[in-house]
Each structure stands twice: as structure tokens, then as C-alpha cells.
Amino acid sequence: MNENFEKNWTQNAVEEAEAVSSISCSGHGRAFLDGLIVHGKAICECNTCYGGTNCSKLLPHCMVDADSGDPIFLEPYWIKNAARSAVLISGWHRMSYEFSDGSLISKVLKEHIRNVHAHVGNAQTDGKYIIFGVGATHLLNAAVHSLSSYGSSTPTKVVASKPYYPVYKEQIEFFKSDNYKFIGDTTMWKNDGSNVTYIELVTSPNNPDGQLKKAILQDQRQNVKTIHDLAYYWPHYTPILQPADEDLMIFTLSKFTGHGGSRFGWAIIKDEDVYKRMLTYIDMSTYGVSRETQLRVLKLLKVVLSGNENKNAIYEFGYNTMKNRWIRLTNVLSQSTYFSIQDLNPQYCSFSHQLRKPSPAFAWLKCDNVLGNIDCYDVLKTFNITGRAGSLFGGTDLNRYVRLSLVRSEDDFDLLLTKIKKLVDVESKGKFFTTSSTDLSQRNEPRMMLHVKCCENNSLHLSNINEELITCITGYPINFQLGDNCQNSLVS
């Protein structure tokens, strides 16, 4: 068969890839091989809030996306390592459903995963099984399914400590299994004396607040099984205290290398029976992870492990980028009394061999009580910032919080910081607003209460109100709340 290969059969593929990568999108977008073609040429796909044929136009009044945990912050690292991380896939690459040994998992890739953990020191893999899934979300449900009780009159109770990752609840409720049920906050069930089986989901570092977490129920009950979601247990986000050595641990490529679109995760499992049940779930639900994905992941991990003579290159880049973003955000919010973010203590990192402060993927922003009975998500949205509402992480008692993603592109972070600066600037000028549930609540419209200072003659002139603030709340009914020294009249 080899005799029938065309000479230089890779040339066209190389030329196509290099042609697309050379398209200029003004540093605010990217052209892709599988993107739209206009007049025979790939077009730019612009970053959020940028437009135009080459993404050079900043869109005014754009809603900044701080909701998605899309880890594009690592893109510059891979652009720098373009040649070393490129993969060219032949048309006949592994067309079979299975590898030659009948399995669905690349043994070479599995060994590289073990080597990565051994180098970083964030997980113990010796003597344990490894399986692949279509991202961590896929593996989480495979784990819950495999650990739950079958044939029991009472479904297994699944719990997580608040604030918890919303997908835990959403996914379990979506599948509506008779074998397990999500019942909320772990601490509510510490004193449950029944013999019902529990599955405790432990996220460490935690999503959304970056706290390093431990199991709560495990030491108190015999009928507890624990799943450790360690998606963010990498030097980019947290000091590595020691290798995690749990019975069931889940990692994802997206938060490690930034390749969320590859949809790849892996579970490290101690118990053989649990491993077999999870393997069956993977086989029945997706019949494994695509060969193309496994090949790409293998190439990425080879780059990570070689590091071009620096095996710590990606970790240093990731940590320095996140640390810089946290410093900039903290400096801005230090000027505010209304808004604050979590302040995590430094700890000794066994990977870097130094004391390090965490640099989490998300800021867990809190709106102070002084703003009244408000939803912090709505406050930020009024300033064109879309975060993830705190209430999604465990209930309405968390509505004073919003999760802000710090792992998106540099454009996204810069725009977010600009909006936060405006928020703090409005506060510093003594002008602010809160949502009111009165009057317009029956029409489901938020009424904006704008606190302003009066003029010297004790009257309020609309011309004195910050124009940007008026712009940012366009579309909402506005109620001007006068200060104690103001007359009950408005002069336009």
C-alpha cells in the first residue's frame, strides 16, 4: 500500500493550514481551517465585543462575557509553540472503532498522562486505573452512575458543599435516574442517621471560589462514596500541596492545556469494580473518545513534557498570566466598599518550591449589603457585565454573589476590567443604584434607584448626572432618589 502514496502528500494540508494562520484579524480574532469561507478565503472569527472584517472594530455598549469558563488565556502559549504542537491527520488515520488490542484507549496517551501527574505532583496514579471521557462532565455522570445503588428502594443521595458547581445539580436532574438524586448542600446531611448511600462531590480547588476542599461526610459515615473533581488542581490556579491520592479523581484537558473544544477528560480510579462499571458507561454512551482527539491530546502532552528544554513552561505561563490578572483586578476593587472578591491565603507549593498565593480561574464577587436587597448578577448586568449568578451555585441565599471568569482571552479580561473600573468609578462619585421590587415588580421590570448628590442650591439637575451611567442603564425605568438635602423637584 505504501507504494501508492503520493509524494509529498502532506504539502496541500500544510499550505492550507499556513494560509489560514497567516490571515490577520488585528489581534482580536482568529481564522480557522473549518471556518466560513467568503470569496474563497477564510474569514476572521472575532473575539467578544469586536467586529469588522478583520476584527479591528470595538463594538460600543457590548455585553462583556465573564460567564463562560472558556480557558482561552493559554492560547498565546500554543501560538508560540505552533510548530511543535501541530498535528497533521491522514485520511486513513485509525479508521477502526478500536485500537489494535481491541481497546478504546491509547496506551501511549495513558502513559503520558501518568508522566504529567508525576512531574507536577498533583495526583498519585501508581497502581490505579485510568479511563478517558468526552470531557469531565461526561466522566462525572459516569462516576455518579457507577457509584450509585442499583435495585434499592431509596435512590442514592448526591451532595456537594455550597457554593457548588451548578452542572452537578443540572446534569443529575436532566437524566432523571431512579438510582440517584441530587439533594443539595453536604452540610445539611451531616447528622443524617439513615442507612441511605451518599455520593459526595468534592471540588478542589472549588468552582466558584477557589477554596481547597476536603470531603465532609467520608469520616463520619460508612455508606459514603466520594468523587473528587480536580479540574483546577494545576499550578496555574493553586499551590500544589501534595499529590492527591483519592479513590476516584477526575481531571480535564480544558483547564490544563486550555483545549476545551477537544472535549477530553480522564478519571483515575482505585477500585477495579468501579473502573469496570465506568468503562461500561463510557462504552454504552459514546463508545470511547475519538481517535483524532486522543492523537491531538498526545501531541499536546508531548509538548508539555518536553517544554522545549523547560518542562515547566506551560505552568509558568499559566501561573504568571493568572497572577497578573488577579493583581490587576484586586487593585481596582480595593478602591470599592460595595464590591469585594475572595482573598485566599498563600501556601507552600511543592511544585514551584515556594510560597504562592492562589490565582483561581474565577473571581467570586460579592455585592455589599449596603446596596439593599438586590441580585448582584443584575447589578453587574446593568454595567454590561454578564457573570454567572450566585444563586445557581446553591440557592437564592447566594444572590449577593456573582462568578466572574478570569480565564478567557486577554481581550475579554481587559474589557471586563474596564467595566469594573466604571462600576467602581460610579461608586466613588457617590452615584449608585439598586434594584427595587416595588411598583414595577408585577410587570417584571427592574426599577433603577439612582443615588445622586444635590447641587449647591439644593436642586437636582439632570445635566449633572454621569452620562455614561445613563447610557449603561438605557432601557430601564429610572427613579431618581434624592438625598436628604434635596428638594423634591427635578430641573431638566
Question: What does the pLDDT look like over 307-353, one tens digit per residue?
Answer: 667 889 999 999 999 999 999 999 999 999 999 999 999 999 999 99
Please say whether the beta carbons of 156 and 177 come within 8 A: no
Q: What cell was used for 491?
A: 430641573
pTM for this entry: 0.87
pLDDT for 221: 66
pLDDT category at 457 given cuts 50, 70, 90 is very low
- Say which residue, 222 or 159, is predicted with more confidence: 159
> 355 in a domain, yes or no?
no
Q: Give the model's pLDDT for residue 281.
A: 97
Cell of 382: 446593568
How far is it, in rounded angstroms, from Cα 28 to Cα 9?
Answer: 33
Cα→Cα distances 351→12, 238, 347, Å: 43, 10, 12
Residue 47 backbone phi and psi in degrees, to 5: -65, 160
- pLDDT for the residue 80: 95
Please check whether residues 165 and 22 belong to one and the same domain: no
C-alpha 347/C-alpha 239 separation (Å) is 6
Poorest-confidence range of 238-247, 369-378, 440-449? Answer: 440-449
Q: State the Cα–Cα distance between residues 340 and 353, nearest whole angstrom.
A: 30
Cell of 185: 448542600
Q: Is residue 85 part of a domain?
A: no
User: Which pLDDT value is given to residue 84?
Assistant: 95
Q: Per residue in 185-197, pLDDT tens?
A: 999 998 887 888 9
- How far is the C-alpha of 263 from the C-alpha of 292, rounded, in Å? 11
Same domain, yes or no, for 247 and 133?
yes
pLDDT exceeds cutoff 90 at 387? yes
Reduce the DSSP state of residue 380 to 3 states and report it: helix
CB 133 within 8 A of CB 139: yes
> Is 283 found in the same domain as 156?
yes
Question: Mean pLDDT for the chain?
Answer: 87
Q: What stretches of 250-373 show up as alpha helix (H) in DSSP? A: 253-257, 272-285, 291-306, 313-333
pLDDT for res 148 = 95
Q: From start to end of 80-179, where are the E strands? A: 129-133, 156-160
Q: Are residues 165 and 273 in the same domain?
A: yes
Q: What is the CATH number of the domain that holds 265?
A: 3.40.640.10
- Which pLDDT tens digit goes with each residue over 156-209? 999 999 999 999 999 999 999 999 999 999 999 988 878 889 999 999 999 999
Looking at the fold, whether 52 and 135 belong to one and the same domain comes out as: no
Residues 259 and 149 in one domain: yes
Stretch 66-73: mean pLDDT:
96
pLDDT band at residue 448 using 50, 70 and 90 as cut-offs: very low
472: enclosing H helix or E strand: helix 467-472
Residues 271, 169, single domain; the answer is: yes
Q: Is residue 90 part of a domain?
A: no
Confidence of residue 455 (pLDDT cuts 50, 70, 90): very low
**Residues 159 and 53 placed together within one structural domain of the fold:** no
The answer to whether residue 453 sits within a structural domain is yes
In DSSP terms, 156 is beta-bridged to 180
- Is 294 part of a structural domain of the chain? yes
Q: Which of 105-114, 212-221, 478-487 shows the highest mean pLDDT?
A: 105-114
Residue 163 lies in a domain: yes
Residue 107: what pLDDT? 97
Burial letters for 103-117: b for 16+ Cβ neighbours within 10 Å, e otherwise?
Answer: ebbbeebbebbbebb
Beta bridge partners of 339: 367
Query: Which cell is 478 given?
Result: 429610572
pLDDT at 363: 98
**Structural domain span for residue 52:** 2-59
- Strands (E) across 274-315 are located at none
Burial 221-235 (b: 16+ CB within 10 A, else e): beebbbbbbbbbbbb
30 band by pLDDT with thresholds 50, 70 and 90: very high
Please tell me the predicted confidence (pLDDT) of residue 371. Answer: 66
Do 156 and 237 fall within a single domain? yes
pLDDT confidence of residue 220: 63
Cα–Cα distance for residue pair 345/359, rounded to 1 Å:
10
The better pLDDT of the pair 436, 405 is held by: 405
Going by DSSP bridges, is the β-strand pair 129-133/64-65 parallel, antiparallel, or unpaired? unpaired
Report CA Rg, the chain: 26
Percent of the chain with pLDDT over 70: 85
Does residue 331 fall inside a structural domain?
no
- Lookup: cell for 359: 490565582
CATH number of the domain within which 13 lies:
2.10.25.30
Per-residue pLDDT for 467 more than 70? no
Q: Over 90: is that where the pLDDT of 466 sits?
A: no
pLDDT band (50, 70, 90) for residue 7:
confident
Domains in the chain, number = 3
- Residue 198: C-alpha distances to residues 139, 165, 193, 269 (Å): 18, 18, 12, 18
5 or 356, higher pLDDT = 356
Query: In angstroms, how far is CA 165 from the centroid of its own chain?
Result: 10
Task: Give the DSSP H or E segment for 275.
Answer: helix 272-285
Residues 78 and 81: their CA atoms lie apart, in Å, by 5
Cβ-based neighbour number of residue 86 at 10 Å: 15
- 172 and 302 together in one domain: yes
Q: Would the pLDDT of 446 be above 90?
A: no
Q: Are residues 44 and 182 in the same domain?
A: no
pLDDT at 138 over 60: yes
Which string of DSSP letters, residue by residue, matches 282-302? HHHHTSS--HHHHHHHHHHHH
| Residue type at position 490 | L
Owner of C-alpha cell 477537544: 262
Res 429: pLDDT: 81
Q: What gap in Å lies between CA 49 and CA 302, rounded to an integer?
A: 35
Q: Is the dihedral of CA 185, 190, 193, 195 positive or negative?
A: positive
pLDDT for res 462: 36
Residue 219: DSSP 8-state: T
**Over 80: is that where the pLDDT of 18 sits?**
yes
Helices vs. strands in the chain: H and E counts, helices first: 13, 26
Contact 213, 244 (CB under 8 A): no
Both 167 and 240 in one domain: the answer is: yes
Does residue 439 carry a pLDDT above 60?
no
For 8, residues 6+ apart whose C-beta sits below 8 A from its C-beta are: none
Q: Say what the pLDDT of residue 218 is.
A: 78
The answer to whether position 72 is within a domain reads: no
pLDDT of residue 460: 36
